[in-house]
Amino acid sequence: MGYSGFRVIREGLRRRTGWTPVWRDPAPQSEYDVVIIGGGGHGLSTAYYLAKEHGITNVAVLEKGYLGGGNVGRNTTIVRANYLLPGNSEFYSHSLKLWEGMEQDLNYNTMMSQRGVLSLVHSDGQRDAFVRRGNMMISQGDDAELLDREGVRALVPLIDFDNPRFPVYGGLLHRRGGTARHDAVAWGYARAADRRGVDLIQNCEVTGIDIEGGAVRGVQTTRGPIRAKKVAIVVAGRSSQVAAMAGMRLPIESHVLQAFVSEGLKPILDTVVSFGMGHFYISQSDKGGLVFGGDLDFYASYAGRGNLPMAEHVMEAAMTLMPAIGKARVLRSWGGIMDMSPDGSPIIDTTDTAGLFLNCGWCYGGFKAVPASGFATAHLIATGQPHAPAARFRLDRFRTGRGLLDEEGTGSQHNLH
């Protein structure tokens, strides 16, 4: 049954007796056309678009824990399309368009809020770089607006504009960017996929991938073997382990990225602010908490929690940018496992095993990619051809050196992104 404002009122009047579970809890069948390993944002959106765009509904999503229990529930909810490089630019542009139609498409309130993403400028050189980036965004068909100092002040008066080390010269404003409720995105895709017949199977860990004669035949799981004509690995933080079940060694090193949230405050910040020079960004959630984060801890880790040095660095950056928020108390912090590729860009590709597909390497930017990543992965699974906006996310670009997507311009090396 569809969700609507009318239904919320009706169920309120009926003492909420009409709500039913949002998705089924099926036992795994012995065979599927497509098995997707990983019930996070990317896996669930892949399943949804397989059903919606390609009519492939004999699909199972296998999740070792619960749906949306990984990075899709641990990120800082920012959605944007402010990329520079061809390859990334058109992909994130496509993703943002899908975000804009997502709530209607899924019939689910994902609390998509296009409150704008503001990237601050602290020097003439940085302004030049952002002018170039803004022009690339506009030529891609997205929006970008260069603000001067007073323009930034009107938008975010909270900033310390005259900080001696990082005086604010202006900013690049991307108005169509913003935030979305991260869990709701997973739940919305899960419900929409389930309604189209996809089996969402939780507490089902994949323990092996069956390959015969160079082609995938199915998977072994903690709930028994499942045959499948096609299998997609969409497991983010466990990409290396699952790929190893298929005999693959990936260009991935897993790192921890921390995030923080403060106690709930009255509205003080109605846009996303990115302070790149301090490796810091911040927004305010609809509940009132300041949601902020910084850079990776910068060493391989699966701990799902960070260390004090980066927590200190993030707090220092927060105090540098917005001294006023020093009065707010930090409510909690957590970490997610980032599957870092050498050039900082993702991989959506086929593998040497026929019928086995790989979606990984989202680094610290997977959330905003959820719709387009699923769309592209579904396209690749269904047609065997890469979806045009994601066509450059090839696995072999590291081996050949052709088509590296080094958005940060720091070099294609594991410890640099």
299: contact with other proteins by CB under 8 A: yes
Residue pointed to by tokens 């404003």: 173
399: contact with other proteins by CB under 8 A: yes
DSSP-assigned states of every residue in 21-85 = -SS--PPPPSEEEEEEE--SHHHHHHHHHHHHHH----EEEE-SSSTT-SGGGTS--EE-----S
Q: Which of 58, 163, 202, 307 is in the footprint of other proteins by CB under 8 A?
A: 307
For residue 373, CA distances in Å to 94, 177, 316 come to 10, 17, 34
Q: How many beta carbons lie within 10 A of that of residue 242, not counting itself?
A: 26
Count the site residues for other proteins by CB under 8 A. 25
19: contact with other proteins by CB under 8 A: no
Cα 144 to chain centroid distance, Å, stands at 21
Q: Contact region for other proteins (CB under 8 A) — 2-10, 96-104, 233-241, 326-334?
A: 233-241
Specify the residue, 152 or 250, whose C-beta has the smaller distance to other proteins.
250
Say if residues 317 and 282 touch (Cβ distance below 8 Å). Answer: no
Cβ-in-10-Å burial (0-12, 13-18, 19+) of 177 comes to: buried
Residue 192's SS3 state is helix
Q: Which of 8, 138, 215, 300 is in the footprint of other proteins by CB under 8 A?
A: 300
**Min. distance of Cβ 343 from other proteins in angstroms?**
9
415: contact with other proteins by CB under 8 A: yes
298: contact with other proteins by CB under 8 A: yes
413: contact with other proteins by CB under 8 A: yes
**Min. distance of Cβ 414 from other proteins in angstroms?**
5
Specify the residue, 112 or 252, whose C-beta has the smaller distance to other proteins.
252
The dihedrals phi and psi of 326, each to the nearest 5 degrees, come to -60, -20
Report 327-386 residues binding other proteins (CB under 8 A).
342
249: contact with other proteins by CB under 8 A: yes
- Residues forming contacts to other proteins in the complex (CB under 8 A) are 238, 240-241, 244, 249-254, 298-303, 307, 309, 342, 398-400, 413-415
